[in-house]
Amino acid sequence: MDSPVKDIAAGAPTSAGTTAAGGTVTGGTATGGTATGAGASTASSTASARATRLGPVALVVAGGLSVQFGSAVAVLLMPRAGALGVVTLRLVLAAAVLLIVCRPKVRGYGRADWGTVVAFGTAMAGMNILFYQAADRIPLGAAVTLEVLGPLVLSVIASRRLMNLLWAGLALGGVLLLGGGGFDRLDPVGAAFALGAGAMWATYIVFSARTGRRFPQADGLALAMAFGAVLSLPFGIVEAGDKLLVPSTIGLGLCVALMSSVLPYTLELLALRRLPAPTFAILMSLEPAIAATAGFLVLSQALSLTDALAIALVIAASMGAVRTQMKRVSALPPQA
């Protein structure tokens, strides 16, 4: 199997524009019009390059906001359908929306392509099932904190730069602080589910990138979501039964599906086509901070001073990762 870093880096852009010439000199006098035009062109090129670099970062942040506020809505839905019922509603309805919108082609793909879809769909289903099982046993903040360790470990393993290790360590400190130091009091089964969800999250990152390169637009995501929905369906039926067919429950489930699956997965798939694995993985450490904000605004869960400090550490690590990525892209030679 090819290296995940190699696979993901292959989809990254090589450069973001060229530098204009600084003008011409005739008889010791610079031609002002040419210099002015070149300066304007350079400024425009720089602005365009910066927007190109920030684009995938904005996609990841928007996806995080969507998925965590969708998770807050899912908490409100759990008393009606149970944890596994919510997972089934989320994946089945999200798959239906994506299949209708994308109408992906199923012909013309090889065994490796379908293997990637199966792995991606399995990772999505496993990540959701394990996380909601964890949230059913331990506090949501602790569950998210343990889950995010998966992408952080991926960041450390995949990184080839010392600075990325530094940002990963800072983010790790933040998410551990957000856990409040109470991990020794957690239900060990719930903690194990959360760690398993983190492993599935890291797997999701790798196969999301591969799927994005093998299939056009969001076709691969739609097919993988459908496979994940099929995997989750028996669990949801066993736990919730005909409660899944209540119209109001379906309505809330559709809201969760759009906010927690369709929108964030699409945004992240697009981002992973242009963002290296280490940077993306560290940006994923924003999730506990966003989750804490969503809990405060939607579920009236107050933030302590320790929580605020933890969020600040996580955001600082994410900002550092973004700046490191921007400098790396700027240092690359311009395209011919």
Residue 53's contacts (CB-CB under 8 Å, 6 or more residues apart) are 16, 325, 326, 329, 330
3-state secondary structure 10-46: CCCCCCCCCCCCCCCEECCEECHHHHHHHHHHHHHHH
Please answer whether residues 89 and 253 qualify as being in contact, where contact means their C-beta atoms are separated by less than 8 angstroms: yes
* Spatial CA neighbour of 288 closest among 172, 121, 155, 158: 172
Report pLDDT for 143: 78
**For tokens 């921007």, what's the residue?**
326
Q: To the nearest 10°, the Cα dihedral for 117, 122, 128, 131?
A: -140
Report pLDDT for 289: 76
* Under-70 pLDDT residues of the chain: 1-54, 141, 155-156, 158-160, 178-185, 277-278, 281, 285, 301, 303, 322-336
Residue 255's contacts (CB-CB under 8 Å, 6 or more residues apart) are 70, 73
| β-pair type (29-30, 25-26) | antiparallel
pLDDT digits (tens, 9 = 90+) for 187-241: 888 888 998 999 998 898 889 888 888 888 789 989 999 999 999 999 999 999 9
Neighbouring C-beta atoms of residue 42, cutoff 10 Å: 16
Q: To the nearest 10°, the Cα dihedral for 127, 56, 63, 313?
A: 80
What are the two backbone dihedrals, phi and then psi, of residue 35, each rounded to the nearest 5 degrees? -65, -40
The secondary structure of residue 261, as a DSSP letter, is I
What are the two backbone dihedrals, phi and then psi, of residue 111, each rounded to the nearest 5 degrees? -65, -40
Report pLDDT for 116: 93
Report pLDDT for 280: 75
CA 140 to chain centre: 18
Question: CA-CA distance, 160 to 153, in Å (whole number)?
Answer: 13
- In 276-288, which positions are buried (b, 16+ CB within 10 angstroms) versus exposed (e)? bbbbbbbbbbbbb
Question: CA-CA distance, 227 to 231, in Å (whole number)?
Answer: 6
Q: Kindly report the pTM of this predicted structure.
A: 0.69
Neighbouring C-beta atoms of residue 265, cutoff 10 Å: 24
Please answer whether residues 289 and 16 qualify as being in contact, where contact means their C-beta atoms are separated by less than 8 angstroms: no
